[in-house]
Structure 1
Amino acid sequence: MTVNQILSIKGGEVFSIVSTISVYDALKVMGEKNVGALLVMDNNEIVGILSERDYARKIVLKDKTSKETLVKDIMGTGIITVKPTDDIDYCMGLMSGKRIRHLPVVDDNVVLGVVSIGDIVKAVIEMQKETIHHLDAYINGTQV
């Protein structure tokens, strides 16, 4: 299964913020959109990603305030992206190896969506269900 297939099921809606807003305002967006991370985009270019983990580790645990801290001061940078044609095994390897949970999907410098570790796990489970169904049909001599 490819990233593009995941996006076709999930949708390609991208939630983003600019780097100059407060962390508090970014958290409000996360809550409204019910997401755990937001792309940080300035001038239509990905400059970072802000996650709930960033908030917990860089604001709460350091006694900073979310209303006075800007997103650019705590966002993750050095963003790793994937292409729509990449497969989920590649994504799992990146996520596991780099210890990240979100991968922006980019093609020709256009952000097409974001896949999360949850999206990848769902896709793997669906593929396994399909394999089990085929094996069961083979063993029982029924058609698929």
Structure 2
Amino acid sequence: MATIKETVKIRPHFPINQNRTIDEAVKFLCSHNISATLVSNDSGEIVGILSEKDIIRKVLYKDLDPKNTKVAEIMSKRIIHVHENEDVNIAKTLMIMNGVRHLVLVDDNHHVCGLLSMRDLIESDLKEFKDLLKKVNDAYYEHEYQPTWRVSSNRVIIETHEPNVDEKTSSIIKFL
């Protein structure tokens, strides 16, 4: 079980006040190079999430004036939390089931510790796959095992039974 904290680089979150305008929010998102942000009230409590999707669908599509529309008017008020020590696959499932691209990360004290995006999860998956391919490549070129090649239907199967190759790597090799 890979946890979010173990596999995803959790970046600091940047809340914006709900009374700011959408024009200010767009500049805020761009200056921090983020696609969504947590929204806070005047007391600093998190009251929503503002994403590019919200801005496109609720401001631009409806032809509202970004300079006169407040963040509170269009933000997503439904906040879905996930614990930073939760399984990564649970986070993916929550996003898919709820039709969202961002989840609020909380720690053991239920304090917000970040905003998890679908992109974060994809990057994590790609890194894991890249590491696995490197391991397969290293094992092959360093001759840690002597593969047996055979053709089955329309694909090549590489088999190994060497003890130096872990089960996951061996499975990938067999799939190739």
Match of 1:124 in 2: 125
Match of 1:19 in 2: 18
Match of 2:45 in 1: 45
Whether the aligned pair in 2 keeps the contact of 1:47 and 1:77 (CA below 8 Å) is yes
> What TM-score do the two structures reach when normalised by structure 2?
0.72
Whether the aligned pair in 1 keeps the contact of 2:10 and 2:116 (CA below 8 Å) is no
Unaligned residue ranges in structure 1 (runs of 5+): none
> What TM-score do the two structures reach when normalised by structure 1?
0.87
Whether the aligned pair in 2 keeps the contact of 1:6 and 1:119 (CA below 8 Å) is no
Considering fraction of residues, name the structure with more helix: 1
Tell me the percent identity. Answer: 33
User: Residues of 2 paired with 1:6 and 1:67: CA distance?
Assistant: 39
Match of 2:34 in 1: 35
Structure with larger RCO (C-alpha < 8 A, sep 6+) = 1
- 1:40-93: CA deviation from partner (whole Å, max 9, x where unpaired): 012232110001111111111111101101000000011001101111100110
Match of 2:101 in 1: 101
Q: CA deviation at 1:132?
A: 4.0
Match of 2:55 in 1: 55
Unaligned residue ranges in structure 2 (runs of 5+): 146-161, 166-176
User: Residues of 1 paired with 2:46 and 2:110: CA distance?
Assistant: 9
| Bigger Rg, which one | 2
CA RMSD of aligned residues (A): 2.1
Q: 1:92 to 1:11 in 2, by over 3 A?
A: closer
Q: CA deviation at 1:135?
A: 5.2
Q: CA deviation at 1:129?
A: 3.1
User: Residues of 2 paired with 1:86 and 1:11: CA distance?
Assistant: 13
Other structure's SS at 1:72 match: helix
Would you say how many aligned residue pairs link Structure 1 and Structure 2?
Answer: 142
